[in-house]
Structure 1
Amino acid sequence: MQERSSVAELAGILRTELNRYSPGEKLPSSRALVDRYRVSPVTVSRALAALRAEGLVVTRPGAGAFRAARPRAAEAPRPGDTSWQEVALSVETSGESVPRSVDASGVLMTLAVPPPGALELHGGYLHPSLQPERALAAALARAGRRPGAWDRPPIDGLSELRAWFAAEIGGRAGALAPSEVLITAGGQSALTTALRALAPPGAPVLVESPTYPGALAAARAFGLRPVPVPVDADGVRTDLLEQALRATGARVFLCQPLFQNPTGAVLSAERRREVLRVAREAGAFVIEDDFARRLAHEDAGPLPATLAADDPDGVVVHVCSLTKVTSASLRVGALAARGPALERLRAIQVVDSFFVPRPLQEAALELVGSPAWPRHLRTVAAELRARREALATGVRRDLPELALRHVPPGGFHLWLRLPDGADEAALTAAALRAGVSVAPGRPYFCAEPPAPHLRLGFASAAGAGELAEGLRRLRLACDEVLR
């Protein structure tokens, strides 16, 4: 059971049992609760903290936890009138061509924590059992002891960390210099900075279709107009990309060439060359979101170089991070660019956030330089392959009406096509009622989707057993909605 589920369940049990105690009476000790409910001391501590935050218990250092005295009923605060904000947030100037509202629903969908007891097959982060928790803790401890660890870092990031990312992005040929890399607060931050830097409000930006909802939300939040370019098994359709660049006059194309989210497609060698050619001829930038390079599976084989490594002319602006392969809280990433674009990226990042906190950069540097790092990558590669195979096999055996047309050798998800006319919203709702959280396909399209889809993730599950149980629950939902 995941830690957050254990905490919620224990808090619920203790909340019910509080009626057995008088106000001020001492609750069982933490050790007793650990033994009684077969949970960890951390779970007990977090459950008691939740009850303390609700005002139900008080804790006294060295004495234990006690039922809180019954609070005197407080008068409910008078609700204010915030209706004026609708006008203030919506008034547009005469030259404003895009709405000012921000739709974060697609992003929130991928970040949402399912209710207690529901299995998570929609998430985009590693399950705690796959995270390098010991290595991260050791790296953070070593980082805290580094001289100047709490000093202000260089604006562009620590030079050693920039050099490491430059080598990772540029490959063995050394196609990228450390001076062409900026350290960012994760991949999403890098992506939003790139979009703001390269396209003015109201401009079209070409995106793969389907694509990552966070990219669509970021583009729209800055007043950009996403224009879809279809993806097939070999990546983006470069013939349609060329047409879209001519038709729209767009100067930015955002893509994920490796293990694309959500399709898992890898851009073919021929199309890699075509993407760079048509973008260069159109005078357009290519934002390369390389989010999944460190999520290659054990059987992936040699990976293609980044687009940035094959581009000496500054067409490609490269985005990557350490977050996906470590922890959602290690928000350290990189932006790589050349020429005047780099200066604009740097300026926007400074205005937005000044810099990435130095202790986090130091910890990241300690982590990637430790012997634990390659071991962790090997472990993740093997585990993701095993979970992918378990999920793909189960889908084909138990859910044959959900078409699985491509099994990617990297990433953390499968992309399933539903039968024509299926109501994906109804299916995801039924799945949640059955106790499994899955992602509907609609948020991955910036225009009308060609068909209903589901995205199933396998990285956020505890293992093969949980994946099998998730498919069993999804089967119940399919029987309800697709019959």
Structure 2
Amino acid sequence: MLTDRRIGAPRLVALLGAWRRDGAAYGALADALRAAILSGAVPLRTTLPGERELADALAVSRTTTASAYDVLRTEGYLVSRRGSGTVTTLPARAAGRPRADTTPADEDVLDLSIAAPPAPTRLHAAYLAALDALPRHLATTGYTPLGVPELREAIADRYTRRGTPTTPDQVLVTTGAQHAIHLLLAAHCGPGDRVVVEHPTYPRAIDAARAAGGRPVPVPVHADGLDLDLLDSTVRQVSPRVAYLIPDHHNPTGTSLSAEARDRVRALARRTRTLVVADEALTDLTLDGPPPAPLTGDGRDAGLVVTVGSASKSFWGGLRIGWVRADPELVARLAAERSHVDLGTPVLEQLVAARLLLDGADALDERRAFLRSQRELLRGLLAERLPDWRFAVPPGGLALWVDLGAPVSSAVVALCARLGLRLAAGPAFGVDGSFERYLRLPYTADDDALGRAVAILADAWTAVARTPPSTADARLPYAAVV
């Protein structure tokens, strides 16, 4: 059994919280450990403390911890090997992320597996302005492996305005953020290389790491954000080539790194020489309070803290424009790497993005106002129809991360699909099948669609509560999550 890291007894005790209840202590401890594994609070392939060490930390007998471990070994949540300790895993029936289902949704199916609102009304004007600017580019070849100068300058100015001085030679334009993530991971990872990822996280980043031959190593994201202590120990223990983070309005939990956390991440990158890829696709979508400070800080760590940005979430999913901010040497290297698959991003779309970055404040204001309204609508609908579900209202981003209270996310999603609603089950956001208690619910649709979605969810929840299927029976292909 491969192991990625070890968790100490004090940290495990803190994660278990108030685990005691009436009945046998070993049963309560087994329940708490199982829940922590299923929720992702204790990542898979983590070596747990020894029975005596944990017993001392919990102030219980060794018989209690030994019996709890025995229960979980029998169920398939723990594996023990002489000399290797006891390691977290999942039963064979639950392990592994579901495969992606790329079948287009039927016209009558409401698809909320994609967290993306419609285009703002001002987008059309940006396209018209870009068409006026296009003629001066028609005398060129149109191949732009680095990006058109106007857009690279606009992106550099955007970073500079946010407090990170940037020059155009530090910017590479890509065909969407996903393209940028693939380029970065392919350039830095090979077979067997570790890639630290938040858990849960953006599913396509996990796919990109595996496509490059890398091995994703998860670090939990709790209700208050990324577990920085475990991030630090994981990076020291596994020596990853890359750490992929979503610092702003995290997908799917909605949390953001604090200013102190950002300082710690930059210090960790410097101390361990680990490349940190910060996905800022949702940075513009701050709905409450001030926008978060950039993870890049003053920009002096451009060789270690690389950012990925996107116009798709900020403005429109059909505007497939992304970018990388890095040191000029890495930018040139990535431009050379991309030549194996494409020769540049479409010029007209680059000109649209440049226009929006320079003069798109109204479009962003319109988008944020829409999302605030829909977030409140979805919150109210859930409170009315599904009051037992629990979630924090995020200060930004595109979705709620809902705790269903039971490990039936795949079952609910399977029933919803048959009732005309397509969603992403919690395990789609995990490395190895965690998060069956959770469901991502975007608030990106119009009023009628959200009302219909919650009505379908309520019907599916009632059916699942009446005859709860096993996790094995409920698994299904997940939609191509965005």
Q: TM-score, structure 1 length as denominator? A: 0.72
Q: Which residue of 2 aligns with 1:310?
A: 298
The whole-number CA distance in structure 1 between the counterparts of 2:375 and 2:284 is: 16
1:67-119 alpha-carbon deviations (Å, 9 max, x no partner): xxxxxxxxxxxxxxxxxxxxxxxxxxxxxxxxxxxx9966x55x764323222
Summarize the alignment of residues 286-365 of structure 1 with structure 2, pairs less than 5 Å apart: 286-297=276-287, 300-313=288-301, 314-338=303-327, 340-365=329-354
Q: Are 1:126 and 1:325, in contact at CA under 8 Å, matched by a contact in 2?
A: no
Summarize the alignment of residues 33-432 of structure 1 with structure 2, pairs less than 5 Å apart: 108=100, 113-128=104-119, 130=120, 132-148=122-138, 151-297=141-287, 300-313=288-301, 314-338=303-327, 340-370=329-359, 373-404=360-391, 406-420=392-406, 422-432=407-417
Distance 1:296 1:149, change over 3 A: farther
Aligned length: 370
Unmatched tracts of structure 1, length 5 or more: 1-102
The whole-number CA distance in structure 2 between the counterparts of 1:369 and 1:448 is: 42
Distance 1:354 1:153, change over 3 A: closer
Note the C-alpha offset of 1:349. 2.2
- Bigger relative contact order (CA 8 A; separation at least 6): 2
Worse-matched range after superposition: 347-356 or 317-326: 347-356
Note the C-alpha offset of 1:375. 1.4
Distance 1:439 1:132, change over 3 A: farther
1:267-309 alpha-carbon deviations (Å, 9 max, x no partner): 1111111111112111101000001012222xx2221221123
Q: Are 2:426 and 2:435, in contact at CA under 8 Å, matched by a contact in 1?
A: no
Amino acid at match of 2:362: R
Q: Which residue of 1 aligns with 2:423?
A: 438
Note the C-alpha offset of 1:182. 0.7
Note the C-alpha offset of 1:333. 1.3
Q: Are 2:164 and 2:298, in contact at CA under 8 Å, matched by a contact in 1?
A: no
Q: Which residue of 2 aligns with 1:72?
A: none
The whole-number CA distance in structure 2 between the counterparts of 1:112 and 1:413 is: 23
The whole-number CA distance in structure 2 between the counterparts of 1:212 and 1:356 is: 23
Note the C-alpha offset of 1:331. 0.9
Distance 1:174 1:149, change over 3 A: farther
State whether structure 2 residue 458 is matched by structure 1 residue 475: yes
RMSD between aligned residues? 2.3
The whole-number CA distance in structure 2 between the counterparts of 1:145 and 1:439 is: 43
Q: Report SS of the residue matched to 1:443.
A: helix
Distance 1:374 1:257, change over 3 A: same
The whole-number CA distance in structure 2 between the counterparts of 1:339 and 1:158 is: 16
Q: Which residue of 1 aligns with 2:91?
A: none
1:27-67 alpha-carbon deviations (Å, 9 max, x no partner): xxxxxxxxxxxxxxxxxxxxxxxxxxxxxxxxxxxxxxxxx
The whole-number CA distance in structure 2 between the counterparts of 1:343 and 1:318 is: 15
Distance 1:141 1:159, change over 3 A: closer
Q: Please say which structure displays the higher CA radius of gyration.
A: 1
The whole-number CA distance in structure 1 between the counterparts of 2:379 and 2:326 is: 38
Q: Report SS of the residue matched to 1:134.
A: helix
The whole-number CA distance in structure 1 between the counterparts of 2:296 and 2:366 is: 27
